[in-house]
Amino acid sequence: MLLYNEIIFWNDLNELQKKNILLRPKITKLDNFKKKVKNILNNVKNFGDDAILKYNKKFDNINLKQIKVSKDKINNSSYFLKNDLKNAILTAKKNIQLFHQNQKCKSLDIHTAVGIRCQQITIPIESVGLYVPAGSAPLLSTALMLAVPAHIAGCKNIVLCSPPPITNEILYISKICNIKNVFEVGGAQAIAALGFGTETVPKVNKIFGPGNMYVTEAKRQLNKSSLNVSIDMIAGPSELLIIADETSDPIFIASDILSQSEHGHDSQVIVLSDNISILKQTIFQVNQQIHNLSRKDIIFESLKNSKFILTTNLLVCTQISNIYAPEHLIIQSKYSRNIVKDIINAGSIFLGKWSPESVGDYASGTNHVLPTHGNSVFASGLSITDFQKKITIQELTPFGLKNIANVVKILSLSEKMDAHANAVIVRCNSIKDKYGK
């Protein structure tokens, strides 16, 4: 019996049905969910490390005397990892580092007019917090995706939090990325510690990293407060959209569907094609391959959210993709480079049959922290610019001010801002007294 065998005919749907087909899965939240997160935030704010240690016991069933990881433990982490894993981590780091180093913005220094010099300089955010979740296995890929750009950006104080007991994989990445402040704390309490600061956890200026619904809600609540702390983004369940045509390989498409589906029961995959045979073969392959996978129980649930949609042509596929605005987009076609020209909304795009999404998750070099829930219509994936801020500078000579003074006076007085005009007028009078013109 097939696990999934429905093909949706896009042209047979009315506008409301089309809209509903592209909805994300509903996230079921527990009763008093927001209140529970608020209580955690308040407890950490008021009781600091004591609250964290109690939450470590309550949520992670571990008793710790201190939450900061010692320098020796970080340095010794490499002894507990196999060489093939360390080499894989170093290769991924090299690729991520190379890609993100080339994202650096050049400083801007121009004269907009004679005597008016304008600059833009890029400054690293001084203190950043990296949250690395831990589920059935340590998310070392997330540690790399956060730590590498933070280091390249030049952030002075980098703080990493991950649920206890923190793994040697995460500690090894901290070591090779020169992160010295590592803390064993997870969940909403980790976000609270980074946002408020405790006796041992430094308060940061911006918090990065995905997590469960408690982590996401904690980031949301902190972002709304007046703590001078920001967040990278509000991330939802992972998602993938695939555009396939008659040149696609159903075996490869099925493997991409399954790899995305194992992220979690609320993940979603949408497959678009103008070829019904490709869709049928893909569904068959999904049902063949799933039985060999260790996380098939999660995949079973995730597939309930997935859709296989037949369109009349590839242009319609790109139009649907732009409406859905996926986190990940695979265009599996030998014409991928032509098709991608019509894409305007996506977090990260994978072109051709030899570009599985899993490579981007780990080691190609691009960042896997991406906008979800349709937010790619206005947002981008994580980059070193997220760890930096830009400051503008302007410097005028007497001649430059004199030449632009009348423009500023007219515009400021039109807004009834006479003090603005006066700041120019008094200087112009001084120029006249000094230079006689």
The per-residue DSSP string of 67-83 comes to SBPPHHHHHHGGGGS-H
- Domain membership of residue 130 (yes or no) is yes
Average of per-residue pLDDT across 22-32: 81
**Is 291 designated active site?**
no
302 is in an annotated binding site: no
Please, which pLDDT band fits residue 1 given cuts at 50, 70 and 90? Answer: very low
328 is in an annotated binding site: yes
- Whether residue 431 is predicted with pLDDT greater than 90 in this model: the reply is yes
**357 and 414 in a common domain:** no
**228 and 135 in a common domain:** yes
- Whether residue 166 is predicted with pLDDT greater than 90 in this model: the reply is yes
333 is in an annotated binding site: no
189 is in an annotated binding site: yes
Distance CA 384, CA 382 (A): 7
pLDDT averaged over every residue in the chain: 95
212 is in an annotated binding site: yes
Contact 201, 231 (CB under 8 A): no
**Confidence (pLDDT) at 436:** 75
Provide the residue range defining the domain that includes 405: 397-435
Mention every residue, 6+ apart, whose C-beta is less than 8 A from residue 297. Answer: none
361 is in an annotated binding site: yes
Please, which pLDDT band fits residue 9 given cuts at 50, 70 and 90? Answer: very high
- Whether residue 173 is predicted with pLDDT greater than 60 in this model: the reply is yes
Average of per-residue pLDDT across 54-77: 96
The Cβ of residue 24 has, within 10 Å, a number of other Cβ atoms equal to 15
Please, which pLDDT band fits residue 26 given cuts at 50, 70 and 90? Answer: confident
**296 and 186 in a common domain:** no
pTM metric for this prediction: 0.94
- Domain membership of residue 10 (yes or no) is no
- Domain membership of residue 278 (yes or no) is yes
332 is in an annotated binding site: no
**Is 328 designated active site?**
yes
- Domain membership of residue 215 (yes or no) is yes
Domain count, the chain: 3
Q: How do residues 102-152 score in pLDDT, each as one tens digit?
A: 999 888 999 999 999 999 999 999 999 999 998 777 799 999 999 999 999
Mention every residue, 6+ apart, whose C-beta is less than 8 A from residue 303. Answer: 3, 4, 257, 261, 269, 286
Distance CA 254, CA 257 (A): 5
The Cβ of residue 327 has, within 10 Å, a number of other Cβ atoms equal to 29
Catalytic residue among 169, 262, 327, 357: 327
- CATH classification at residue 276: 3.40.50.1980
**59 and 82 in a common domain:** yes
- Domain membership of residue 294 (yes or no) is yes
Please, which pLDDT band fits residue 27 given cuts at 50, 70 and 90? Answer: confident
- Domain membership of residue 27 (yes or no) is no
- Domain membership of residue 246 (yes or no) is yes
Distance CA 235, CA 224 (A): 16
Please, which pLDDT band fits residue 2 given cuts at 50, 70 and 90? Answer: very low
79 is in an annotated binding site: no
- Whether residue 5 is predicted with pLDDT greater than 80 in this model: the reply is no
Distance CA 391, CA 234 (A): 25
**431 and 291 in a common domain:** no
Scan for tokens 């894409």, then name that residue. 343
**178 and 38 in a common domain:** yes
Contact 153, 384 (CB under 8 A): yes
> Which amino acid would we find at residue 114?
V
Catalytic residue among 169, 328, 357, 368: 328
Closest among 423, 242, 410 to 328, alpha carbons compared: 242
How many residues are present in the chain?
A: 437
Distance CA 182, CA 162 (A): 8
> Which amino acid would we find at residue 277?
S
Please, which pLDDT band fits residue 258 given cuts at 50, 70 and 90? Answer: very high
Average of per-residue pLDDT across 169-185: 97
- Whether residue 377 is predicted with pLDDT greater than 70 in this model: the reply is yes
| Both structure tokens of 32 | 């008093």
- Whether residue 432 is predicted with pLDDT greater than 70 in this model: the reply is yes
**167 and 108 in a common domain:** yes
**221 and 106 in a common domain:** yes
Q: How do residues 354-376 score in pLDDT, each as one tens digit?
A: 999 999 999 999 999 999 999 99
Helix axes 33-60, 213-224, angle to 10 degrees: 130
Contact 55, 40 (CB under 8 A): yes
**193 and 104 in a common domain:** yes
**417 and 326 in a common domain:** no
Q: Where are the alpha helices (DSSP H) in 79-227?
A: 83-101, 140-153, 168-176, 187-196, 213-224
**330 and 227 in a common domain:** no
Running DSSP on this structure, what letter comes out for residue 292? G
**263 and 200 in a common domain:** no
Q: Give the range with max mean pLDDT: 1-5, 136-140, 206-210.
A: 206-210
- Domain membership of residue 1 (yes or no) is no
238 is in an annotated binding site: yes
Q: In the chain, what percentage of residues exceed pLDDT 70?
A: 98
**Confidence (pLDDT) at 4:** 56
Cα angle for residues 100, 343, 210 (degrees, 5° grid): 45
